[in-house]
Amino acid sequence: MTAIVQASGIVKRYGDMLALNNVNLDIEPGKIVGLIGLNGAGKTTLLKCLLGLAACDGEIQILGFDPVRQRTRMLEEVCFIADTAILPRWLKVSQALEYLEHVHPRFNRELAETFLKTTVIKPDSTIKQLSKGMITQLHLALVMAIDARLLILDEPTLGLDILYRKQFYTRLIHDYFDHERTILVTTHQVEEIESLLTDLLFIRDGSLVLKASMDELPGLFIEVHCRKDQLERARALGPLNERPLLGGYAFIFENRDRAELESLGELRTPGVADLFVAKMQGKGGV
């Protein structure tokens, strides 16, 4: 199966600062991949490099295209929603639809209008009259009406209340995603997208410190809800992270035999948010 995204040896510097450090990445078709990292970790820089918006060292292929030399052809099959509004504030909603209808060969205006009818957005409204949540809905309507194979979302629900965030991801999964499309998303609301993801990427200081499918996580990481009389034994085994619980402690271990941990307490698979904290505080990477 040919990867939708292929990146090898990606290095990006801003002066003396190393923003991306030898990033290697392959994303297969039909995946929903979460790219998770702290502010300044390199998430947006990596997306910009993948889209040809920032120069970098290394090799990148998106849908078989070079994102710099074949940018126009690539963008016919790739959609991008940034973390900031990119539509001119004076533009009317109807004008945005008309513009895309004329410039994008895969845009279906009727489909976009059908989606917008489920919102309170009016065709004659200007962008400056829309709330941040409504602008995000408009972006989603435009994107969902484009027959793209890859959708890249950079903090698409940043600053939205929980209702808009839930609506956004529900529409995205039920009305847009299928196994012919691929989604790469960055977000700070890890818990809200955990159930949607097929694959997980953690980035720290410009390096990927985790690349795994969600199905692989139970075999890689174990969370132990440890009894108080077993705390020293647990710590001696070198956990990635520990945190207090009511009546005990939770430890997260990487690449440990389950049989070795069973006597310490209750075993679970850690949630993505807790695993993220553990990997950010731990050392080493992929």
CB atoms within 10 A of CB 97: 21
- In this prediction, residue 84 carries a pLDDT of 63
Confidence bin at 222 (pLDDT 50/70/90):
very high
Confidence bin at 110 (pLDDT 50/70/90):
very high
3-state secondary structure of 71: helix
Domain definitions of the chain by residue range: 5-213, 217-281
Mean pLDDT across 162-182: 84
Q: Which of 86, 79, 280 is nearest to 185 (CA)?
A: 79
Contact of 267 with 227, CB cutoff 8 Å: no
Confidence bin at 277 (pLDDT 50/70/90):
very high
- In this prediction, residue 51 carries a pLDDT of 94
CB atoms within 10 A of CB 181: 18
- Does the structural domain 217-281 have CATH classification 2.40.50? no
Strand-pair category, 32-37 with 57-62? unpaired
**pLDDT tens per residue, range 61-88:** 999 999 999 998 998 899 988 766 578 8
Q: Which residues, 6+ apart, have CB-to-CB distance to 273 below 8 Å?
A: 190, 191, 194
What does 91-140 look like in DSSP terms, one character per residue? -BHHHHHHHHHHH-TTB-HHHHHHHHTTSS--TT-BGGGS-HHHHHHHHH
Per the DSSP assignment, residues forming a β-bridge with 12 are: 20
- In this prediction, residue 282 carries a pLDDT of 62
Mean pLDDT across 247-276: 93
Contact of 208 with 286, CB cutoff 8 Å: yes
- In this prediction, residue 158 carries a pLDDT of 78
pLDDT at 285 > cutoff 80: no
Q: Which fold has domain 5-213?
A: Rossmann fold (3.40.50)
Lowest mean pLDDT, pick from 8-12, 106-110, 249-253, 281-285: 281-285
> 217-281: same fold as 5-213?
no
Give me the phi and psi of 39, to 5 degrees please: -55, 130
E strand or H helix that includes residue 151: strand 150-154
**pLDDT tens per residue, range 23-45:** 999 999 999 999 999 988 999 99
- pTM of this prediction? 0.88
